[in-house]
Amino acid sequence: MPRSVAIVTDSTAYLPRAQAARHGITVVPLAVVLGGEALEDGTGETARRLTDALERRQAVTTSRPGPEVFAAAYRAAAEAGAEEIVSVHLSSEISGTHDAALVAARRAPVPVTVVDTGLIAMALGFCVLAAAEVVAAGGSPEEAAASARKRAGAAGAYFYVDTLEHLRRGGRIGAAQALLGSALAVKPLLELKGGRIELREKVRTASRAIARLEELAVEHAGNGPVDVAVHHLAAEERAAQLAERLARRLPDVAELHVSEVGAVLGAHTGPGLLGAVVSPR
């Protein structure tokens, strides 16, 4: 008889609520601290307040869940009947969330497999859904974790940002590089690489940068079946337009999601963020 397996992730996956509910996925929230107040990541209200704070150049910090939060989530899953848990999370290079999950897993009442995807946003989310689909089909925890890791290895995630300033504040690039980029009106393209958000290219205009973002997504997708997500922060119209173009250009899109990012990613990129995630199946 198949073991009862629960799936846990964190709020940076930006999973559509309906899909998380359908698969019974537990989502553990990270937090963003604005003006001394800790707000739960992944809500529309938090995204709005984050945008306001960044535009006013207010200090913004993010906070991972503590091991005790994961311990509570694991206990609740076990009490609900789970015999094993697969816990799938954002890159350990970006956040200490994965480490907190590992600490909690050691004292959980049932075995917990913790997966570091090296990703964030729906690049992570599609890994979580892949694991959940394996479990729904009667697969083992090992098979679910392997499916998440396979999707992680094939995923591509690219981001356009309006300014390098937020990356500078977060220590992602040096002050001299940020100043030069601002003076030249450079529009950065970022990539998730090796678990980190890295500067991939610098393009001279916003329109060219967004066109290049689209090309990167199309190139990564190839001709096989893919899941796609378009993310934004305070750039809803741009996101809808990009999603429409990708839907036309990609020959085999299984799922296509458009959503606003939460504070953990938005704090490093700022308003105007536009992202394209491609996850080959």
Q: What is the pLDDT of residue 43?
A: 67
Last residue of a domain, one of 127, 152, 177: 152
In eight-state DSSP terms, residue 84 is: E
pLDDT in tens, 215-230: 999 999 998 999 999 9
In this structure, what CATH number is given to the domain that contains residue 191? 3.30.1180.10
User: Which pLDDT value is given to residue 120?
Assistant: 94
Shared domain for 195 and 269, answered yes or no, is yes
Same domain, 208 and 135: no
Please indicate whether residue 42 or residue 115 has the higher confidence score (pLDDT): 115
For the question of whether the overall pTM of this predicted structure is more than 0.85, the answer is yes
Residue 23's domain is classified under what CATH number? 3.40.50.10170
Q: Which domain covers residue 145, as residue numbers?
A: 5-30+65-152
C-beta of residue 221 within 8 angstroms of C-beta of residue 228? yes
- From residue 231, alpha-carbon distances to 92, 106, 170 in Å are 21, 34, 20
Q: What six digits make up the tokens of 128?
A: 């979580």
Classify the C-alpha dihedral 267-268-272-278 as positive or negative: negative
Residues 126, 211: one domain?
no
Same domain? 110 vs 75: yes
Classify the C-alpha dihedral 254-275-115-17 as positive or negative.
negative
Rounded-to-integer distance, Cα 151 and Cα 75, Å: 28
Q: Is the confidence at residue 213, as pLDDT, over 60?
A: yes
Kindly state whether residues 190 and 109 are assigned to the same domain: no
- Tell me how many domains the chain contains: 2
How far apart are alpha carbons 162 and 148 in whole angstroms?
Answer: 32
Q: Tell how strand 156-160 and strand 187-193 pair up.
A: antiparallel
Asked if 192 and 231 count as a contact pair (C-beta separation under 8 A), the reply is no
Clarify whether residues 24 and 86 are in a common domain: yes
On whether residue 223 sits in a domain, the answer given is yes
Q: For the segment 243-275, what is each residue's pLDDT rounded down to a tens digit?
A: 999 999 998 999 999 998 887 777 777 788 999
In a domain, 36, yes or no: no
The verdict on 132 and 15 lying in the same domain is: yes
- Shared-domain flag, residues 175 and 101: no
Scored b (16 or more CB within 10 A) or e, 75-113 reads: eebbeeebebbbbbbbbbebbbbbebbbebbeebebebb
105 with 215, same domain: the answer is: no
Do residues 84 and 141 make contact, with C-beta atoms less than 8 angstroms apart?
Answer: yes
**Does residue 33 sit in helix, strand or coil?**
strand
Residue 211 located in a structural domain: yes
Predicted local confidence at residue 113, as pLDDT: 98
- Tens of pLDDT, residue by residue over 155-194, are 999 999 876 665 555 554 444 444 444 444 678 888 999 9
Report the side by side order of strands in the sheet with 84-89.
26-28, 5-10, 84-89, 112-116
Among residues 125, 152, 179, which one ends one of the domains? 152
In this prediction, residue 5 carries a pLDDT of 97
Residues 231 and 258 in one domain: yes
Are 138 and 223 found together in one domain?
Answer: no
Work out the end-to-end distance of the chain between its first and last CA atoms, rounded to an integer number of angstroms: 28
| 106 plus 146 within the same structural domain | yes
Distant-in-sequence, close-in-space partners of 263: CB < 8 Å, separation ≥ 6? 30, 31, 32, 39, 41, 46, 47, 50, 60, 62
